[in-house]
Amino acid sequence: SALDAGLIWFEGELVPAAEAKVSVLTHALHYGTSVFEGIRAYKTARGPAVFRLPEHSQRLIDSAKIIGMPVPYSADEINHAVLETIRHNGRDACYIRPLLWYGAESLGVNPGRNRVHFMVATLPWGVYLGEEAIREGAKLVTSSWRRSPGDVMPTKSKAGGNYINSVLANQEARGSGFDEALLLDKEGFVAEGSGENIFFLKGGTLYPIAHSVNLRGITRDTVIKIAEWMGTPVVPTMATRDELYTADEVFMVGTAAEVTPVSSIDRRPIGTGKAGEFSLKMRETYLKVVSGEVPEFDHWLSYVNG
């Protein structure tokens, strides 16, 4: 693999990435029957720290529960595997990818007979949407692919199969020269980006897009709590795309994207058409929080070296 994963937690042991192999008959490879997480560890004054690890481990377990997958590990065991993997790879910051998947015992659609496997990989990963998207603001385009309705796919689960929807939307947006896709739900309300939740700011109030078919983002929850701590009124709301066009600011949030300002949607400039002041301030504050520089939020960090 071209990915620089170092040692991977695989079946309860740390093994070199080249040795962490699976069968081509793996059920998950054929049907997308896996669940995963995306977590980050940041460099802090006390060594690397994982941001909101217990919440991510719980969401992994919840994702499995949603698709009916039995998980042979507790949240504590998942936390332990993540921390051990980081410790043994010796990076001060990384992106963390835990994955649970059905193995190669049977290729029938029903995975009842298939073993559940677990791995944790850590990767070096910088700014997800690029430095320019942060400086200038990202250019979004409304996707022709709608977010899967809740009675078609279990969108609260980070299940592998669900991500075909994100892949199609992101490919379409990037292929047309935009930075990211804006996915609407089947009624036309704003759902989320291909891997980010959406916020807008209007008249000094911060509006997170309300929960419906969007993922219950951990960064979304973090940003709401930071905004409340900063004294900004926060009102979760449903919104149509045109409501975003006329917002003062729009930004996207996610573990990978962190806080990324949006400068245009469907070629209409948002606010000044540049990265918004509040969005940049929120990005700066978020990066301080994840780096352990804000004592109020230090409880969100799991320090790798204790």
Catalytic residues: 158
Euclidean distance between CA atoms 151 and 137, whole angstroms: 34
Contact flag: residue 34 with ligand PMP (CB under 6 A): no
Euclidean distance between CA atoms 46 and 57, whole angstroms: 22
| Segment 239 to 268, residues that bind ligand PMP, using CB under 6 A | 254-255
Q: At closest approach, how far in Å is the CB of 143 from ligand PMP?
A: 12
Q: At closest approach, how far in Å is the CB of 110 from ligand PMP?
A: 26
User: Could you tell me which stretch among 100-108, 114-122, 195-203, 259-267 binds ligand PMP (CB under 6 A)?
Assistant: 195-203
Residue of 179, 180, 185, 192 that binds ligand PMP (CB under 6 A): 192
Q: Residue 200: is it exposed, middle or buried by C-beta count within 10 angstroms (0-12/13-18/19+)?
A: buried
Contact flag: residue 122 with ligand PMP (CB under 6 A): no
Euclidean distance between CA atoms 271 and 250, whole angstroms: 9
Q: Calculate the alpha carbon distances from 197 to 214, 271, 300 in Å.
A: 7, 19, 20
Q: At closest approach, how far in Å is the CB of 190 from ligand PMP?
A: 12
Length of the chain measured in residues: 306
Contact flag: residue 215 with ligand PMP (CB under 6 A): yes
Which run of H or E residues covers position 8? strand 7-10
Cα angle 261, 138, 5 (rounded to 5 degrees) comes to 95
Q: Which amino acid makes up residue 296?
A: E
Contact flag: residue 69 with ligand PMP (CB under 6 A): no
Q: Calculate the alpha carbon distances from 204 to 191, 249, 259 in Å.
A: 22, 10, 18
Which run of H or E residues covers position 87? helix 75-89
User: Could you tell me which stretch among 95-103, 110-118, 199-207, 211-219 binds ligand PMP (CB under 6 A)?
Assistant: 211-219
Residue of 98, 195, 208, 292 that binds ligand PMP (CB under 6 A): 195
Which run of H or E residues covers position 40? strand 39-42
User: Could you tell me which stretch among 2-10, 22-30, 101-109, 194-202 binds ligand PMP (CB under 6 A)?
Assistant: 194-202
Contact flag: residue 98 with ligand PMP (CB under 6 A): no
- Whichever of 195 and 208 has its CB closer to ligand PMP, that residue is 195
- Whichever of 85 and 194 has its CB closer to ligand PMP, that residue is 194
Contact flag: residue 218 with ligand PMP (CB under 6 A): yes
- Whichever of 103 and 208 has its CB closer to ligand PMP, that residue is 208
Residue of 219, 263, 264, 302 that binds ligand PMP (CB under 6 A): 219
Contact flag: residue 57 with ligand PMP (CB under 6 A): no
Question: Shortest CA distance to 146 belongs to which of 181, 197, 195?
Answer: 181
Contact flag: residue 185 with ligand PMP (CB under 6 A): no
Contact flag: residue 197 with ligand PMP (CB under 6 A): yes
Q: Residue 89: is it exposed, middle or buried by C-beta count within 10 angstroms (0-12/13-18/19+)?
A: buried
Q: Which residues contact ligand PMP (rule: CB under 6 A)?
A: 38, 166, 192, 195-197, 214-215, 217-220, 254-255
